[in-house]
Amino acid sequence: MNNILPANKRLLVIIPALNEEASLARVIANIKAAAPWADVLVIDDGSLDATARVAEAAGARVVTLPYNLGIGAAVQTGFLFARDHDYDFTVQVDGDGQHDPREIDVILKPILAGEADVAAGSRYIEDRGYITPWLRRVGIVVLAALISLLVRRRVTDPTSGFRASNRRAIEYCARHYPSDYPEPESVVEFARAGLRLREVPVTMNPRYGGQSSITPFRSFYYMVKVTLAIIIDLLRHTSKA
């Protein structure tokens, strides 16, 4: 795979992981195959299994959090790492194998072209056969409609955690990042901070192994929490990135 980065520019792939020993080795191997020029950082968010050891054996840098902080704080730790070690770009990839590392190129493209500060992979721009349970699909459609209305442009997949960021976005996220279920809320925050968001079509897979964190009660909590967070955000004075 050709290095698509400009000379002297560095990319950090951030993988937040909670008990992902079953899938992590494969995820990291795929990233190394698809983008050997990237550095891979796993944030072990207080896993009880061998996540950190598996990640290290697969050749990733591993930051181990002393206890579980939640996905948002874990991803933000990755942004802090990227900021402190002078990375120019980051890509967030889930540790469960849902995101295809071969598409790192695809989501980086608008960033490298200077057309966006954050690029997010969307399952729903083009129909690529990704099957979403209908209730979750309804939730995503409602959220997408609400968020599209607020940021005044069409957002199709606000829950996507497959994202690329440039230096400006890295510095913003290192300072401000929502703590749990961060993706939809951050879409609104980015817009308000003046960061340009672009969605690009991607294909997502079912997870490789391990446990999904989604249960009916959590889905309900997710919708309530995210909607509340988005509305509260609107009442805040947001600092520009």
- Binding residues for another protein, rule: CB under 8 A, are 43, 61-67, 69, 73, 76-77, 80-81, 84, 179
Q: Which is nearer to another protein, 77 or 156 (CB)?
A: 77
To another protein, the closest distance from the beta carbon of 143 in angstroms equals 25
User: Coil, helix or strand for 26?
Assistant: helix
Residues 6+ apart with CB under 8 A from 211: 19
To another protein, the closest distance from the beta carbon of 175 in angstroms equals 11
Task: Please choose, from the candidates 180, 184, 183, the residue with its C-alpha nearest in 3D space to the C-alpha of residue 218.
Answer: 180
Residues 6+ apart with CB under 8 A from 107: 91, 119, 120, 121, 162, 163, 164, 200, 202
To another protein, the closest distance from the beta carbon of 67 in angstroms equals 7
To another protein, the closest distance from the beta carbon of 170 in angstroms equals 14
Q: Which is nearer to another protein, 60 or 107 (CB)?
A: 60
Q: Which is nearer to another protein, 13 or 63 (CB)?
A: 63
To another protein, the closest distance from the beta carbon of 77 in angstroms equals 5
To another protein, the closest distance from the beta carbon of 41 in angstroms equals 9
CB atoms within 10 A of CB 79: 24
Q: Which two tokens stand for residue 233?
A: 């955000």
Question: Could you say which DSSP state residue 163 is in?
Answer: E
Amino acid found at 201: P
Q: Which residue has the tokens 């840098």?
A: 61
Q: Which is nearer to another protein, 69 or 91 (CB)?
A: 69
Task: Please choose, from the candidates 79, 97, 99, the residue with its C-alpha nearest in 3D space to the C-alpha of residue 89.
Answer: 79
Q: Which is nearer to another protein, 52 or 151 (CB)?
A: 52
Question: Could you say which DSSP state residue 99 is in?
Answer: B
Q: Which is nearer to another protein, 9 or 61 (CB)?
A: 61
Task: Please choose, from the candidates 183, 189, 175, 192, the residue with its C-alpha nearest in 3D space to the C-alpha of residue 226.
Answer: 183
